[in-house]
Homo-oligomer: A and B are copies of this chain.
Amino acid sequence: MRKNAAMQRDLLGAAVLHLRRGRAVSRSSLAVALGLAPSTVGLYVDELIAEGYIDESGLEQGPLGRPKRRLATLPGAGWFAGVEFNAERVQAVCVDFSGQRVSARSKWLPNDLDTRAVLEAIRTVVADLARNAQGPLLAIGSGAPGVVDPRTGVSAHYAFIPDWRDVPLAESLSKWFGVPVTVENNLRAIAVAERWFGGGRELDNYVVLGPRSGFGVAIMQGGRLMGGAHHAAGEIGRWPWPIGGGQRAGEMHDVLSAPAVWRRLAGVTTRARPPEDLRRGLAKLAGAAGPAWDEIIADYSRVIGCLQLLVDTERFFLHGPLTALGERFCNEVIAAARATAPALAEAPLQIVPSALEDDAGALGAASLAMEAWAPAVVR
């Protein structure tokens, strides 16, 4: 295996990514983005055009000088699949070569789950997408709950599927579909979706807050996902709670997960079962002010304060059912955090509900596939 060929592949892949993200629109801006000489970029672009991945689509006049010859990725050159699953359902999206989400599929899982059934569901959902997709499937990305090793593509453990242990997700998918497969933790996949499809497009530092049945965060730091030494970073739902002072009451997600927040707002006991559609249930309770609301704001503000002081991020994206509580919730948390932690009073602090939908995880998985893909070098 020649090292040079690998380098060229990477550069071709990076060129496509820049064009797809709009970070570069012409040969000259590509040269800047890639850090290559314009003449060299010319050769690369010729190759990409010859291979049918991109084309020239008119001119773009700047304020002065010769206009740029606009380059664009060809939507029909192929597509990327993004899959994500939990114990309830499999979701998948098809993203075309130009980075547009073109279709989606989802499949509810039966109650008596096992590993085989989940894998089979993933397989059929992706195969389903393939039926309507344009061009060849180029790569697959997959989000998975729990601890995932992106290097090996193995999903270590997931409590809600009994025999889910060290599942070689990448290997299986790769064998079935004959394309490279990227695997990442669900929430970290969502963080990547923010970069490609959400509000993180211009940010290098942000944090995704994922309060669902548990409570995890995904940290994007300097443009890289923070995975930790054992791919287990961000599991703050397991924080002992409360943290200082008194006796231990439990874990943080007992108090701040989405079902817990619903219970506190609804004023019901810990045993009460939250509604099927948690998002709608929370939306109904969103307006109601009261001590429960205030306490939740206070608790959230403390967690946000801790996170911000530790990781110093630019923006928090709130995901999951709690987005139903709206911007009011986010703004009150900001205000409370500022009031509680003097250190945060002056510094900028942003918390916003994510603009992404329910399929953020699948979108992120597809984004990971896009990022990993690179054309074969021919010559």
Contact = CB atoms under 8 A, between A and B. Distances in A.
Interface stretch (A81-89, A116-124, A161-169, A229-237): A229-237
Contact of A302 (B232, B244, B311): B244
A233 B343 contact: no
Main secondary structure of the interface of A (DSSP, over half): loop
Size category of the binding interface on chain A: 35 or more
**Which one of A244, A245, A248, A309 has the greatest number of beta carbons of chain B within 10 Å?**
A244
Contact of A249 (B226, B245, B310): B245
A35 interface: yes
A155 interface: no
A343 B242 contact: no
A214 B164 CA distance: 44
A241 interface: yes
- Looking at A231, A233, A249, A313, the one whose CB has the most chain B CB atoms below 10 A away is A233
A312 interface: yes
Contacts of A178: none
Given A224-B222, A226-B221, A309 B236 contact: yes
Contacts of A307: 310
A236 B306 CA distance: 7
Contact of A310 (B35, B236, B313): B236
A311 B246 contact: no
A302 to B, nearest CB: 5
B241 A245 contact: yes
A228 B245 contact: no
Contact of A312 (B232, B310, B311): B232
Interface in A241-268: 241-246, 248-249, 251-252, 255
Given A239-B341, A246-B246, A249-B244, A228 B313 contact: yes
A95 to B, nearest CB: 27
Most buried by B among A245, A340, A344: A245
A310 B243 contact: no
A238 interface: yes
B310 A229 contact: no
Given A229-B313, A310-B217, A310-B236, A245 B248 contact: no
A338 to B, nearest CB: 11
29 contacts: A3-B35, A3-B37, A205-B229, A222-B224, A222-B226, A226-B226, A226-B311, A227-B312, A228-B311, A230-B312, A231-B312, A235-B309, A235-B343, A236-B309, A236-B310, A238-B309, A238-B344, A239-B341, A240-B305, A240-B340, A241-B243, A241-B244, A242-B245, A243-B303, A243-B306, A244-B249, A246-B246, A248-B340, A307-B310
Interface of A: 3, 35, 37, 204-205, 217, 221-222, 224, 226-236, 238-246, 248-249, 251-252, 255, 299, 302-303, 305-307, 309-314, 340-344, 347-348
Given A235-B310, A244-B302, A310-B310, 11 more contacts: A3-B35, A222-B226, A229-B313, A236-B309, A238-B341, A238-B342, A240-B302, A241-B244, A243-B302, A243-B303, A245-B245
